């Protein structure tokens, strides 16, 4: 079993996650079993309570674990589902250590960062490797070398390197900026970053150098000389047209061969023909559509990264590029949606921005603009229909007003009895039964599907008959029939909304039906008007 540790220096946002996912893809394409681990050095036990503005999207796994968005990249690149064990946080580690101390597991020892915390980190890494029976485990260390919160994890890596010897290596991602005034690539940030890593006791084996443009041979040789790595082990990672092009860029510089030689994996060549075709469709589409994404956190696009990727996957399948028009729901104007081919209202919590989202949904419904609502966008579609079609004045969600007359979205009776509001969240993979002869059935071609969920409030069952009599059909329901999962409006080119999150299961070459249907409807409407 082999271990690859991916660290980062200089600054955050250099693409450690994409580098890790790309390494995983290249090795898997060689026929190896690969899994990934993301280490997040924050004290939260998981990402579930974190603001999208601070940490980007919260990604949900099959088992209901709320994790860092990098695990979404791992799943998309590897084409495999992760579990809660694939995300290690400081909070998780310290919680385990404290619980063991309280039970007396340490037999009276003074519990310390070294060895107890570092031993727990190593144990968690080994457990993932053993449980998945992987040939290679790619471990991404979040944060930047030198950050105080990362120190226990880096120390654990140092110890693992000594214990594993030739069965591990370190890939260090760093930055090579170019000063426009002189037009020269500057290697000093990389040198200082590697110096910081070596001071901890870790010598990188491979350096992935982020830059705006490809690195010259002289720059690679200089980095290799000053950082004590072979020049061929300095891999340039220039800006790419798409994140999916990154594995191909790395492979062109011999990364797979480097990994194979250093880890003694044998001479195996990655099979990338299918991936190449996908990248070609992404970067050179024949058609173009523009989708308005009306959200609450559009100032940070990472808040909706899975939506971007799901649209990319669907677009590629239909030879269409997808441009996203980001619209902050608080700031929506009468002309904000003018000229768009389709509209998405995504996830959200709380009342802020809800009126803007309802306005966008009304615009889509009344103007025959293809519409896809997801989670919060499903609930807002129900409220919009109640207000503007059923004429239920001030219809709303009990999340916004628990004293309102028409709470068409609310907690189920059993949820209301729970003392702990956190226990009312519905998380993870759940089954959905789809009605025959519906749009949902046409899209999925299956009477039963499994999708990931992350929500609390449901459609109020007291209003279901009224909705369906007026034309809003709940074509997908939970197995017990008490939770409305999919709503669709037949008298429309494409109007469908889902309580679940199809974007979390979208993969390259395996787009999710609801996104595929949206792009297909947009292209159909374009052809009608041309």
Concatenated DSSP letters for 30-98?
Answer: TT--EEEEEEE-SSSSSSTTS-HHHH-PPEE-TT--EE-THHHHHHHHH-----GGGEEEHHHHHHHHH
* Cα-only R_g, the chain: 25
pTM for the model: 0.94
Pairing assessment for the beta strands 234-238 and 287-295 based on DSSP bridges: unpaired
Examine the residue annotation and report whether 492 is marked as an active-site residue of this protein. no
Examine the residue annotation and report whether 503 is marked as an active-site residue of this protein. yes
Strands (E), 123-269: 136-141, 168-175, 178-179, 184-185, 206-211, 234-238
Helix spans in 318-425 (H) = 354-366, 376-388, 413-416
Neighbours of 124 (CB within 10 A): 18
What per-residue confidence (pLDDT) applies to 425?
A: 86
What per-residue confidence (pLDDT) applies to 179?
A: 83
What per-residue confidence (pLDDT) applies to 77?
A: 97
Residues of the chain by 3-state class (helix, strand, coil), percent to 5: 45, 25, 35
Q: Which is the catalytic residue, given 57, 375, 399, 525?
A: 375
Examine the residue annotation and report whether 45 is marked as an active-site residue of this protein. no
Strands (E), 142-202: 168-175, 178-179, 184-185
Tokens in use for 438?
């519906």
Neighbours of 509 (CB within 10 A): 13
Neighbours of 115 (CB within 10 A): 14
Instruction: Give the Cα separation of 128 and 117 in Å (integer).
Output: 17
What per-residue confidence (pLDDT) applies to 268?
A: 78
Place of tokens 């880096």: 154
Tokens in use for 495?
């109007």
**N-terminal to C-terminal alpha carbon distance within the chain:** 57
H or E segment to which residue 496 belongs: strand 495-498
Q: Which is the catalytic residue, given 57, 140, 485, 503?
A: 503
Cβ(519)–Cβ(289) below 8 Å: yes
pLDDT tens for the chain, 530 residues long, are: 999 999 999 888 888 999 999 999 999 999 999 999 999 999 998 888 888 877 789 999 999 999 999 999 999 999 999 999 999 999 999 999 999 999 999 999 999 999 999 999 999 999 999 999 999 999 999 989 989 999 999 999 999 999 998 999 999 999 999 887 777 899 999 999 999 999 999 999 999 999 999 999 999 999 999 999 999 999 999 999 999 999 999 999 999 999 999 999 987 789 999 999 999 999 999 999 999 999 998 888 789 999 999 999 999 999 999 999 999 999 999 899 999 999 999 998 888 989 999 999 999 999 999 999 999 999 999 999 999 999 998 999 999 998 999 999 998 877 776 666 556 789 999 999 999 999 999 999 999 999 999 999 999 999 999 999 999 999 999 999 999 999 999 999 999 999 999 999 999 999 999 999 999 999 999 998 87
523 preceded by cis ω (within 30°)? no
Local structure of 431: helix, strand or coil: strand
> Whose CA is closest to 313, among 76, 527, 498?
76
Local structure of 125: helix, strand or coil: helix
Structural domains in the chain, sorted by start: 2-277 (3.40.50.300), 285-529 (3.40.50.880)
Tokens in use for 429?
């993979």
Instruction: Give the Cα separation of 494 and 289 in Å (integer).
Output: 15
Q: Which is the catalytic residue, given 501, 520, 522, 525?
A: 501
């Amino acid at each position: 079993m082999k271990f690859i540790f991916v660290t980062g220096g200089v600054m955050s946002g250099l693409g450690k996650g994409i580098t890790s996912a790309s390494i995983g893809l290249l090795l898997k394409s060689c026929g190896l079993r690969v899994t990934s681990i993301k280490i997040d050095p924050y004290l939260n036990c998981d990402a579930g309570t974190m603001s999208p503005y601070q940490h980007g999207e919260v990604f949900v796994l099959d088992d209901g674990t709320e994790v860092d968005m990098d695990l979404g990249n791992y799943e998309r690149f590897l084409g495999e589902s992760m579990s809660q064990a694939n995300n290690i946080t400081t909070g998780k580690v310290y919680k385990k250590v404290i619980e063991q101390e309280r039970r007396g597991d340490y037999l009276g020892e003074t519990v310390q960062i070294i060895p107890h915390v570092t031993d727990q980190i190593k144990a968690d890494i080994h457990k993932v490797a053993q449980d998945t029976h992987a040939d290679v485990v790619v471990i991404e260390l979040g944060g930047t070398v030198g950050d105080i919160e990362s120190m226990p994890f880096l120390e654990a890596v140092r110890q693992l390197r000594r214990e594993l010897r030739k069965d591990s290596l370190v890939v260090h991602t760093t930055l090579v900026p170019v000063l426009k005034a002189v037009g020269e690539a500057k290697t000093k940030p990389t040198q200082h970053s590697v110096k910081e890593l070596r001071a901890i006791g870790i010598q990188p084996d491979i350096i992935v150098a982020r830059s705006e443009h490809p690195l010259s041979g002289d720059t690679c040789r200089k980095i290799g000389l000053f950082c004590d790595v072979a020049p061929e082990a300095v891999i340039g990672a220039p800006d790419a047209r798409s994140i999916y092009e990154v594995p191909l860029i790395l492979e062109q510089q011999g990364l797979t061969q480097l990994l194979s030689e250093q880890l003694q994996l044998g001479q195996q060549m990655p099979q990338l023909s299918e991936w190449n075709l996908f990248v070609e469709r992404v970067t050179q589409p024949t058609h173009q559509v523009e989708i308005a994404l009306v959200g609450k956190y559009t100032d940070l696009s990472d808040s909706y990264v899975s939506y971007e990727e799901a649209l990319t996957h669907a677009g590629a399948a239909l030879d269409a590029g997808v441009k996203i028009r980001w619209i902050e729901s608080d700031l929506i104007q009468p002309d904000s949606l003018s000229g768009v081919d389709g509209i998405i209202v995504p996830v959200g919590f709380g009342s802020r921005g809800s009126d803007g989202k309802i306005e966008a949904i009304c615009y889509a419904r009344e103007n025959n603009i293809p519409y896809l609502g997801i989670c919060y966008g499903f609930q807002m579609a129900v409220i919009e229909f109640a207000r503007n079609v059923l004429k239920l004045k001030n219809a709303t969600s009990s999340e916004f007003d628990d004293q309102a007359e028409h709470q068409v979205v609310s907690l189920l009776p059993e949820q209301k009895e729970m003392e702990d509001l956190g226990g009312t969240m519905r998380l993870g993979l759940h089954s959905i039964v789809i009605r025959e002869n519906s749009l949902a059935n046409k899209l999925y071609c299956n009477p039963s599907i499994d999708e990931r969920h992350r929500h609390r409030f449901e459609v109020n069952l007291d209003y279901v008959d009224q909705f369906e009599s007026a034309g809003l059909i709940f074509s997908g329901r939970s197995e017990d029939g008490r939770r409305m999962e999919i709503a669709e409006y037949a008298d429309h080119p494409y109007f469908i909304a889902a309580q679940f999150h199809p974007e979390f299961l979208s993969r390259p070459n395996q787009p999710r039906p609801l996104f595929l249907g949206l792009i297909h409807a947009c292209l159909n409407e374009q052809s009608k008007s041309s």
